[in-house]
Structure 1
Amino acid sequence: MRNLKVIEALLESTKKCFSELLYTQPNFLVGNNQLPQKHFYLVDTTTNIGLGHIGFSMEEGVAFSPFRAPFGGFSLADDLSSTEITFFIFEVLRRLKAQSLSNVHIKLAPSCYYKNMNLLAENLTHVGFQPVEKLEYQAIPITDHDFEANLASMEVRKLKKCKEANFQFSRLPKHKLADVFEFVKTQRQEKNYEFSMEWPQLKLAQKVNPEAYIPFVVKDKDRIIAATIGILASDKVLYNFSPAHHPEYDQFSPIVLLTEGLYAFCREQELSYLDLGTSYLNGKINEGLKQFKFHLGGQSFFSYSFNKALP
């Protein structure tokens, strides 16, 4: 094992060799909640390289990672061994106990975010964390192949139909985020879908992380017909947050053209995955939505939640 140490703040000179999650970063937590924070970083003291991080919000004796976000937990360098991951877990637990906390709740990112997520889940179980929930996500791997290469034939036809109609995908400037938010919220409400965020929350989130929230649209001339909020959930993954389209364009399925544009953006930014989120409705998987994501080239990945009482 390398010469590892867990510290609560990185030095400016420390090079990070892991992809940090947006939802555990100090700036995000400031906008997300007003709770006390605690951060732990795994560092190789020989090379002064950062190899991992976890951030917590603390309330009434419980440490949450995350408190109110899709996921949080550990961000890890890909080359960490099982022994090194276990060391990090034990050090975090030891320091949390010193804070007089009674419980730890962790929801890990989907396994596509880090190569060792499944190993981490196993190690958490081995050190006494109790599994609470397992959620299925779909994500599209970003490769050198064109987007169409992994599309189902039905979606290829829909994409062609959108292009023949001269619909245009574009990334909008940051100040247009409110317009996209209102479009998405309106379309989802008309279908009686829940929407997990209000504009004041998103506005504050964008203020503290201005580069992380990106409005994307598909237009028919000057009219928005499909849109989504792209969230840079890490420097390797774009999260496709709540895409929606206008019902007048159901026959075209402009979400396919929207997804092609997001895929191209990911390639340009050298990202590894386009996260399509979960496909749950009222606690159960919506098989039609899940199948649609597979038709877009999505693959399944899993996120695990854990809980541990601190003695």
Structure 2
Amino acid sequence: MLSFEVPEGYRFDFEEYLFNTERHRLTQAKDGWKSFYWLDKKRKLVKASFHVHVDGNVARSPYRATFGGVDFSSNMSQKHLTVFIQSVEKFLMDINIQTFQIIMSPQHHNNSSFSKHFQALVDNGFGNLKSDLTAVIKINSNSFESRISNSARLNLKKSKNLIFSRHDKEQYTEIYDVIKESRKERGYEISMTKSQLIKLAEQIASKTHFFGVYKNDVLVGGAVCFEVSNRVLYAFYVGHLKSFETLNPTGYLYSQVYKFCQENNFELLDLGTSAENGKTKFSLLEFKQSIGAEPSLKLTFSKKKLDD
């Protein structure tokens, strides 16, 4: 049954991804959100949730985040998932939404959910607007070194004198500055200002991790990671200063974040997309594959209201 709120006494039968939680949604936009839930009244369970941001005649999920889409229980039927999306679409079209856009979570985050979500969107007439390749490392008991290519293993030896550190709140600005500088050196912009990132990190502090790599006392590289679920750690920003390229700071950084994932029972390390100007950047994808990552699809679907 479709609902616009969670009734008292109901519990969620699934975990919402970080970007779909209320605390993160409100960092994307303070208002404009519409939420939908699919309820199992007999068991008092929320079987699915879907949050969209409405701006004029456009509805988006997410609004300003990496991905959105429907979160749902592993035992929700394909029929109910399809009807849920259909019901949400009908409500939005009735309030004169003209365009409905959804960015799905990457395939490897949950292959079964991805397949069900994909088919439910297709069955409701959504079209694939865009496709990106993310790269994910599956975490297991094997060492990082045993999983990477021979060339990556040789490069990792160059970083033997580097020191890895997990940063606390007072050091967040240092990490941001070194990542911003690393992007500037390579001709790229950074998507968030320092104040935006620090504010986000404070609002979702328990899900945010800042890591740094040092050569002696000099910070030469850093990473900002988010726990997007209890299974997945997402490397949001990663970078190192160009003058320390020969020491392979990024390779070393990933090796240590991999160990962090092992110690904290994560199942996947998501390295993000490998794209530039809307197309796959092959050199970046190949680097990620050389350190043990597998390609994973991230799809954007869209549907426009037909003229009456």
- Fold conserved (TM > 0.5)? yes
Contact 1:6 1:41 in 2 (8 A): yes
SS in 1 for 2:97: coil
- Percent of matched pairs sharing the same residue: 26
Can you list the C-alpha shifts for 1:121-150, whole angstroms capped at 9, x where unaligned? 122112111221111111111122222221
Can you list the C-alpha shifts for 1:254-281, whole angstroms capped at 9, x where unaligned? 2112111111222222222111111112
**Is the deviation greater in 12-21 or in 195-204?**
12-21
In the alignment, the residues of structure 2 paired with residue 77 and residue 261 of structure 1 have an alpha-carbon distance, to the nearest angstrom, of 33
In the alignment, the residues of structure 1 paired with residue 248 and residue 156 of structure 2 have an alpha-carbon distance, to the nearest angstrom, of 8
**1:246-285 to 2 correspondences below 5 Å:** 246-285=241-280
Q: Which amino acid is 1:234 matched to?
A: S
Can you list the C-alpha shifts for 1:53-75, whole angstroms capped at 9, x where unaligned? 22111110221101222211112
Change (3 A) 1:12 1:246: farther
Query: Match of 1:235?
Result: 230
Q: Which amino acid is 2:289 matched to?
A: F
Query: Aligned pair 1:36/2:32, yes or no?
Result: yes
**1:79-158 to 2 correspondences below 5 Å:** 79-114=75-110, 115-158=112-155
In the alignment, the residues of structure 2 paired with residue 152 and residue 13 of structure 1 have an alpha-carbon distance, to the nearest angstrom, of 51
Can you list the C-alpha shifts for 1:239-298, whole angstroms capped at 9, x where unaligned? 112211122321221211211111122222222211111111222222111111001110
Contact 1:174 1:214 in 2 (8 A): no
Query: Match of 2:298?
Result: 303
Q: Which amino acid is 1:39 matched to?
A: S
Change (3 A) 1:79 1:288: same
Contact 2:139 2:267 in 1 (8 A): yes
**Is the deviation greater in 167-176 or in 9-18?**
9-18
Using the size of structure 1 for normalisation, the TM-score is: 0.91
Q: CA deviation at 1:11?
A: 4.7
Q: Which amino acid is 1:211 matched to?
A: S
Contact 1:20 1:235 in 2 (8 A): no
Query: Match of 1:179?
Result: 174
Q: Could you list the runs of 5+ residues in structure 2 that have no partner in the other structure?
A: none
Q: Which amino acid is 1:141 matched to?
A: K
SS in 2 for 1:162: coil
Q: 1:191 aligns with which of 186, 198, 201?
A: 186
In the alignment, the residues of structure 1 paired with residue 237 and residue 267 of structure 2 have an alpha-carbon distance, to the nearest angstrom, of 20
Q: Could you list the runs of 5+ residues in structure 1 that have no partner in the other structure?
A: none
Q: CA deviation at 1:12?
A: 6.3
RMSD: 1.9
SS in 2 for 1:288: helix
Contact 1:169 1:217 in 2 (8 A): yes
Can you list the C-alpha shifts for 1:221-246, whole angstroms capped at 9, x where unaligned? 32212111112222321111221112
Q: Which amino acid is 1:162 matched to?
A: S
Contact 1:26 1:55 in 2 (8 A): no
Contact 2:140 2:262 in 1 (8 A): yes
Q: CA deviation at 1:102?
A: 2.8
Aligned residues: 305
Contact 1:32 1:205 in 2 (8 A): no
Q: 1:74 aligns with which of 63, 70, 74?
A: 70
Query: Match of 2:60?
Result: 64
SS in 2 for 1:181: helix
**Is the deviation greater in 112-121 or in 133-142?**
112-121
Q: Which amino acid is 1:67 matched to?
A: Y
